[in-house]
Amino acid sequence: TGAVTVAGLVERVEKARRGMLRLTIAPERIDGILRTAWPERVRVTSRPPDGPLEAGDFVTLKVRLAPPQGPAAPGAYDPALRLFFEGVGAT
């Protein structure tokens, strides 16, 4: 997608590289996308907010969504498969 606004409940907060945070969000609103096409969860990497952020917080972010990436080579590890079983449909 192009840039869209995603609002939802933070389910998981993980530290990523270079001081960034990886958030797993259960969306309650995704502007510009039909509700029937929303993924169950989205995973985004973001700069940390000024204050604390933890599971259960509500966030609104402007993001570009894409399907999870598949394996880098045939037979290689497939991160999209793991995300599928976690219910993550967009990153």
State the pLDDT at residue 78: 86
Count of beta carbons in the 10 Å neighbourhood of residue 80: 14
Q: What tens digit of pLDDT does each residue of 22-78 get?
A: 999 999 999 988 888 889 999 999 888 888 899 999 999 999 998 888 888 888 888
pLDDT of residue 48: 86
pLDDT at residue 28, rounded to an integer: 95
Q: Collect all residues with Cβ–Cβ distance below 8 Å to 25 and sequence separation of at least 6.
A: 6, 8, 9, 10, 11, 41, 42, 43, 44, 59, 61
Q: How many CA atoms lie within 13 A of 60 on its CB side?
A: 3
Q: What is the pLDDT of residue 83?
A: 82
